[in-house]
Structure formats: C-alpha cells, structure tokens
Chains A and B, each alone.
Chain A
C-alpha cells in the first residue's frame, strides 16, 4: 500500500469529516445506549430518509430537509410515546417505517431512484465537498460544546432520572435536548455511513468501550478512539481494495467488538 492516497484532497476531506462524525456519534451514542435508546439513531436515520427524498423532490438542499424532518419526528415520537403509552421499541418501529414509507412514496412521484438517493442510503464520505466538511466539523464542535456545558446534568439524568430531578436537574428539558441533538447528529452522520448503517456508529464503539472503561469519561474516550480508528481504517482499507467505505468502517468496528468479547471471555478484562 502506498501513501499516495494520503495526498489526495478528497481523501483529506473524507478523513477530517469522518473523524469529526466518529467523535460526535460515539459521544451521542454513549448517552443513547445507556438510556436504552440504541435503536433511536436508526429510527431517526430512516425518518431522515423521508426528509432527504423530500428535499431532492422539492429542489431544496436535501440535508436541510433531513435535519427538519429528523428533529420533528424525534420530538413527535417522544410526545406520542408519552401521551399514548407506547413502548420504546414499538415507537421506534413506527418512526422507522414511516420515514422509509414517506421517502419511497416521494421518490416514486419524482420518477424513481437517483444516484443521490443511493449516496444517502449507503453513505458517500469520499464525495464530501469542502463546504460539507466545514459544516460537519462546525456542527460537531457546537454539539460537543453543548454536551460539555451541560455534562453533569446530561450524565446525571442518564444515570438516574428520579435522583437527578430531586437534585434540581431539569430532566424533561435535558431529555428533549438529547433527542434534538441526536436528530442533528444522525443527519450529519448520514453522509459518512448512510441511512442503513448509522446505528452501527452509535452503538458498536460504545458497547465495546463499556467493556473496557471503568468510569464514564474513560469509556467515552475509549469509544471515541474506537470510532475514529474504525472510520480512518475503514476509509483507507476501502479505498485500497476498492470496496464500499461505509460497510468497511462498520465491519472494522465489529471486528474490534469481536476481539474485545474474545478478550473478555478469556477472563482478561475485569468483570463488570
């Protein structure tokens, strides 16, 4: 393998945008996994598919419509869940299928699948533009800043809502904030791995990191490291072997998880 690929501008953009998305997804994902919302990212991604189709159909930049649809459906599903007492997994299933259904109907109106739709379904990290890269890095910065500012409140309400409430943490507001941030994160990350593989980025590095980490911050940094190395390795390997980056990234992360499980089974990790 030559280092020539590291000289291409598109590769620089892919690696920068990919690293930012990896960090963002692993941080957001850790909160979602611990809140038992592992599949929420998946559901939001599918609903954002409806948004993307809408944007392409209406001639609006599809990511903007995807952000809108994703945030609205996240809030809507939370409200519906509360009001009608539907279980978490069922509400996720509803959200997931409605997004795809809306997307499919809009696509058939606009005369079938286009290349753009495929790139959103399966990711197109090697095609990100300079503008996209700047937007991804900026959004990542903003979301991480919000999480850093409200770190204690978010962590506390993830750990135990009841106790957080007693301590004066505005738990309901924090929950909505998490959901909105997850919606924004998902649409941002769609460009890297696509709608279909998004939850892998949210869940796999965190499931792995939880097995290694002792404390929360430590787990978060381990998860970031796994996510970033999976993304970088995935992009480079896929380019060298001319295979899809999204699939390669996710397979790499799964590989790390499998090795971790092996180490744990062999009794080399402390029990927890």
Chain B
C-alpha cells in the first residue's frame, strides 16, 4: 500500500539545540499513528516541518510520494488540528463561519452543514466562537480540518484541557474517521492509555526516534512501555 507519509533523515537544528536528530519513518495510508514523547521531544517541530511552517530542516518529507518542498498542492490532502486553537477571544465569527474558513471551494457549502452534523456541533453553528467550551471548540477545529475531505488528519496533543466526556466523544470520532472513512491519522498525545486504545502504530520521539512500530508490539512489551513511558523519558532528558 502507498505510503501516506514518508520521512527520511529529518534533522532540525536550532542555534542552541538539535530539536530532531535523523528521524525516519513511514506511515501507510489508513494507519492511525500515535506519537508519544515528553515535552520538548520535538513533536511540535516535527509537525511544523510536516505542515510547511518550518522549512529549516535537512532530510525529506514526502506526502503520497511527493516531496513537500516541491509540491504546491500537498496542503489539500492534510487537515490539521492545533494544540490550542488560538484566536482573539472576542473575534466575531460563528462556528459555521470558522469551519467555512477551511473550505477551499465555495461550492461545497453543504459540506459545512454535513461536517457540523457529523461532529455533533450542528446546533452550535450560529454561536460565537468565543462562547464555546474547550471540548466544543476542539470539535469545531476538527470540523474545520475535515471540511475539505483530507486524506490525512494531523492532531497536535488536542485533548489537553478538555473534560472527560468531551475527550471520550473526541476519541470515538477519531476512531470512526479512521476505521469508517479510512482517514490516515497522525496524533501526538501525552495519554499512553488512549494511544493504546486508538492507535495501531506508535512512534516514540525524544529528539531521535526511539521506537516506531505496531502498537501491539509496543504495548505488549512491558519493558518497552516502561522504558518509553513519559516519566522515564522525562528522566532521560534530565540526565542529558
């Protein structure tokens, strides 16, 4: 099967630190990859590079066999959900206006309603964006990411600061997107249990790639889990 994403020898150096060191891995179409690693492990740098926000790297990043530095259209295949949806709190925009911002073709107006319904936020469509709860906002931003029917959905630790009920709903939405619609999901998370439940592949990142493989392999090996669980990796960082 075609690789949805292929990252080869990705290295990102900042003046005082190497954020990513020779990271290589591939994600097959339809995979659900959980990326775990402590704060400062380079997850955001990895995402920034994949999304074209950071172009200061060596190595190659390919989406569907196309180098992103040579492609002008690869954005179309990607939906991105940021860690914290940042915007001015009094920004005058309704939920459906925000989702519509993600829409590339004007003619797809029905698509907005469809996606709002799919994510259980249709009744919020005329609410102002600043009035929503964390969980509702998260679904709005997923809707915005999905409105162009992307083949890949990238989520940057999106369950931070959201109540449990919203998290459960969010997980079931992700699962459905992946299993029913075949969307490739790349999701960075602090929550090992959730990654175990949802992802079929795991990547452990701490500036270098410690592990990449099937999640059964990872989670059935207690030593691996212990070694790469957040706490021990955090410690690992302190030692260096």
B102 to chain A, nearest CB (A): 6
Pick from A160, A165, A214: contact of B92, CB below 8 A.
Answer: A214
State how many residues of chain A have any CB contact under 8 Å with chain B.
Answer: 25
In whole angstroms, how far apart are the Cα atoms of A223 and B238 in the complex? 54
B101 close to A156 (CB less than 8 A): yes
State how many residues of chain B have any CB contact under 8 Å with chain A.
Answer: 32
Interface residue ranges of A249-268 to B (CB < 8 Å) = none
In whole angstroms, how far apart are the Cα atoms of A84 and B64 in the complex? 39
A210 close to B94 (CB less than 8 A): no
Pick from B52, B87, B91, B92: contact of A166, CB below 8 A.
Answer: B52
In whole angstroms, how far apart are the Cα atoms of A214 and B129 in the complex? 9
Interface residue ranges of A146-167 to B (CB < 8 Å) = 152, 155-156, 159-160, 162-167
A214 close to B128 (CB less than 8 A): yes
Interface residue ranges of B51-89 to A (CB < 8 Å) = 51-53, 75-76, 78, 80, 82, 85-88
Residues of B within 8 A of A112 (CB): none
In whole angstroms, how far apart are the Cα atoms of A166 and B87 in the complex? 15
In whole angstroms, how far apart are the Cα atoms of A167 and B74 in the complex? 10
In whole angstroms, how far apart are the Cα atoms of A166 and B130 in the complex? 22
A152 close to B101 (CB less than 8 A): yes
Interface residue ranges of A26-56 to B (CB < 8 Å) = 34
B91 close to A34 (CB less than 8 A): yes
Residues of A within 8 A of B76 (CB): 168
A160 close to B126 (CB less than 8 A): no
A272 interface residue (CB < 8 Å to B): yes
Residues of B within 8 A of A168 (CB): 75-76, 104
B97 to chain A, nearest CB (A): 5
B98 interface residue (CB < 8 Å to A): yes
B2 interface residue (CB < 8 Å to A): no
B82 close to A162 (CB less than 8 A): yes
A167 and B128 in contact, given A34-B91, A162-B53 (Cβ under 8 angstroms): no
A83 interface residue (CB < 8 Å to B): no
A111 interface residue (CB < 8 Å to B): no
B101 close to A159 (CB less than 8 A): yes
List 9 contacting pairs A-B, 8 Å CB cutoff, sorted by A. A34-B88, A34-B91, A159-B91, A159-B93, A163-B80, A165-B52, A167-B104, A210-B92, A214-B126
Q: Which residues of A contact B (CB under 8 A)?
A: 34, 152, 155-156, 159-160, 162-168, 209-210, 213-219, 270-272
Excluding A163-B82, A209-B92, A210-B92, 8 further A-B contacts by CB distance (< 8 Å) are A152-B100, A159-B101, A165-B51, A166-B78, A167-B102, A214-B94, A214-B127, A219-B92
